[in-house]
A and B are shown apart, each in its own frame.
Chain A
Amino acid sequence: MALLRPRLPPSERFGALAEFATPAALYRACEGVRDAGYTRWDAHAPFPVHGLDRAMGLRASRLPWISLVLALGGAATGMGLQGWVSAIAYPLVISGKPYFSWPAFVPVTFELAVLGGALGAVFGMLALNQLPTLYHPLFGSARFERASDDGFFISIESWDPRFDAERTVELLRRLGATEVELVAS
């Protein structure tokens, strides 16, 4: 269960954490880390910095597909439930209409499609992000508390094949970090 701690490779050191002064500095540093070929790394900011996903080289999110599948599932459930109830389980003639009077079932079908899509978006997002994970090694850094306030960070994980304590710290400094620290696992 990853509810309390993330599943990470066994290592004494989580990696390097660098702080940047502004979103713009973070943006350029992300481009630098991406171009240096790192793969196990992340940026942290108190708000989604516009364009940073591209600067990090992230691929488009798969979330819309998850949401779409659940929305279609919701719609199928809605039409199926109403059709089954009205034509098979409890057939009643209402206003002289056929048992499977599908136009009357459109509103509930639509509402259940919206419900499915919304549940898919929220729980799909949590699943893709592996949340909730209440603890993370980065929380061990006192400085990191500012990631939810006014701090802009890059973390590079020690199991990245290119990670090297000295050279990674050196790179982060060169990219304009104001502070760099090594974080324990």
Chain B
Amino acid sequence: MRGTHNESDAVDHRPPLILGGPSFHDVTEAVASPLERPPTRGWWLYFLPSVGLLGLLGVAVGWLFFEGVGVWGLNNPVGWAFDITNFVFWVGIGHAGTLISAILFLFRQKWRTSINRSAEAMTIFAVMCALIFPGIHVGRPWVAYWMAPVPNQMGMWPQFRSPLMWDVFAVSIYGTVSALFWYVGMIPDLATVRDRAHGRRRMIFAVLALGWRGSMRHWHHYEKAYLILAGLATPLVLSVHSIVSMDFATSQLPGWHTTIFPPYFVAGAIFSGFAMVVTLMVITRRAFGLEHVITMKHFDYMAKIMLVTGMMVGYAYALEFFIAWYSGSAYELFAFKNRAFGPYAWAYWTMVSCNVLLPQLFWFKKVRSSLTWLFALSIFVNIGMWFERFVIIVTSLHRDFLPANWFMFTPTFWDVATMLGSFGLFFTMFCLFVRFLPIVATAEVKSVLPQAAAHARTAPRVELEDADALPSASRLARAEAE
């Protein structure tokens, strides 16, 4: 069992998910001990620029509130540009986290256990970034509460037939459920950190862990709760990006008015989300020495998912053109000709290159097993998917029905500052997460180790001598440490 990719497990004849044949205690040690050491210089190297960008977000939003949406490059007819591009981009990023934590859980894909915690954290931070934009783009943010169905002095209520209203509910409930899922998944690991800590740190984690004591009677309800949450989060994530796409699809605008949008947006969201997971994991596993927990096999799987979803969006791009021609609508056909060959053609072809052409390299095993390639391609996909939203929004708006209305959109400094600032928020939160919370679901990883199998029907009877060896080895290691 101690070995590499190719040796297969005696139980299910598959290669081990976690390399090096670690004991249960080794897993705890690998995940919990970095949290107990002072932050490394590398961590500060990521954290300080992130906080700097977060400060930029504060300035950009403050100036926006003071001066108004005129500080952005918006005009008539381009009333939505960077703001909603960033919103859709960030919501999409979040979806891979839910896919990994919920959908792969339902499909019993055990390899998810190494990456689900950090992917879920990514989801929550991405939703935080996303929620900023609808909040600040309304022009008068102090009346943003009009989006909530609360009794008010005007006697007015929201208009529930609008997809924008559905979106308010979908994204805020998505954020809430993702946070619950993340926290519930973390309770056993918070208890692990608590049991290793002393003093005030122990008190803080004692409260966070809610008094978890690994009771099997608790695990019994806990596993059921986790299954229900996964079952609910799966249709939720599909509905969220479908509803986001309906913000566009239910309008009359050529380029937006398309029935393919819901599945196309969901595929794109998963595509971009996995790219972001790869970007973050390449850095995190090296920084925390988790190469044996987040293995090359995980990257191989994620690259294959990116290959599939990348081809799905490629198919959607092609089908949009086909339908534009097949519909016989002159406006529809113009919108797409303009998209590919008009003034924003550079953005369109950036999108196609990054999302459809470059991911084809994932066909090659050499690319899928090279961290350099994976990292570079994941960055390209992130860029490509940002441009996809920009292309859909701006190219459809900037030349609408009457040529007299046509106008180009050019981003201002504050457009760019707000976008970069949202990355600052995201990376600041992620840095704080990897610093203070267990970044791998240790309880779940332990349960996929070969020695975790206890049931007589699925596991060979453990020889008692062997069985004693595992914990006593870890006990020795602990005695040495003390």
Contact = CB atoms under 8 A, between A and B. Distances in A.
A11 interface: no
Interface in A46-67: 46-53, 56, 58, 61, 63-64, 67
A147 B232 contact: no
B474 interface: yes
Interface string A123-146: 011101101111110110000111
Contacts of A117: 228, 232
A150 B474 contact: yes
A18 B160 CA distance: 59
A61 B220 contact: yes
Interface residues of A, number: 75
A36 interface: no
A111 B236 contact: yes
A129 B206 contact: no
A50 B12 CA distance: 15
Nearest to A22: B467
Given A110-B239, A136-B211, A48 B219 contact: yes
Contacts of B228: 63-64, 67, 117-118, 121
A140 B109 CA distance: 38
A139 B195 CA distance: 9
A148 B192 contact: yes
B446 A46 contact: yes
B446 A139 contact: no
Given A107-B169, A124-B225, A47 B452 contact: yes
Given A67-B228, A112-B169, A115-B177, A44 B453 contact: no
Nearest to A91: B157
A15 interface: no
Contacts of B456: 27
| Most chain B CB within a 10 A radius of its CB, from A50, A107, A133, A151 | A107
Contact of A51 (B188, B211, B455): B455
Contact of B454 (A26, A42, A104, A114): A26
A171 interface: no
Contacts of A101: 161
Interface stretch (B22-30, B322-330, B393-401): B22-30
B213 A136 contact: yes
B24 A149 contact: yes
Contacts of B155: 90
Contact of A42 (B28, B217, B467): B217
A10 B380 CA distance: 65
Contacts of A151: 471
Nearest to B26: A150
Contacts of A56: 216-217
A90 B157 contact: yes
B409 to A, nearest CB: 29
Given A82-B160, A114-B236, A131 B455 contact: no
B206 A46 contact: no
Nearest to A151: B471
Given A107-B166, A108-B169, A49 B236 contact: no
Contacts of A53: 216, 219-220
A174 B412 CA distance: 76
A47 B443 contact: yes
Contacts of B7: none
Given A85-B157, A132-B211, A145 B232 contact: no
Given A63-B221, A122-B180, A138 B213 contact: yes
Contacts of B471: 21-22, 150-151
A132 B468 CA distance: 34
Nearest to A31: B456
Given A117-B232, A136-B213, A27 B454 contact: yes
B153 to A, nearest CB: 14
Contact of B239 (A24, A50, A111, A138): A111
A153 B24 CA distance: 15
B192 A46 contact: yes
Given A46-B442, A134-B207, 4 more contacts: A85-B160, A97-B161, A114-B236, A121-B232
Interface of A: 21-27, 30, 42-53, 56, 58, 61, 63-64, 67, 71, 81-82, 85-86, 89-90, 92, 94-95, 97, 101, 104-105, 107-108, 110-112, 114-115, 117-119, 121-122, 124-126, 128-129, 131-136, 138-139, 144-151, 153, 178
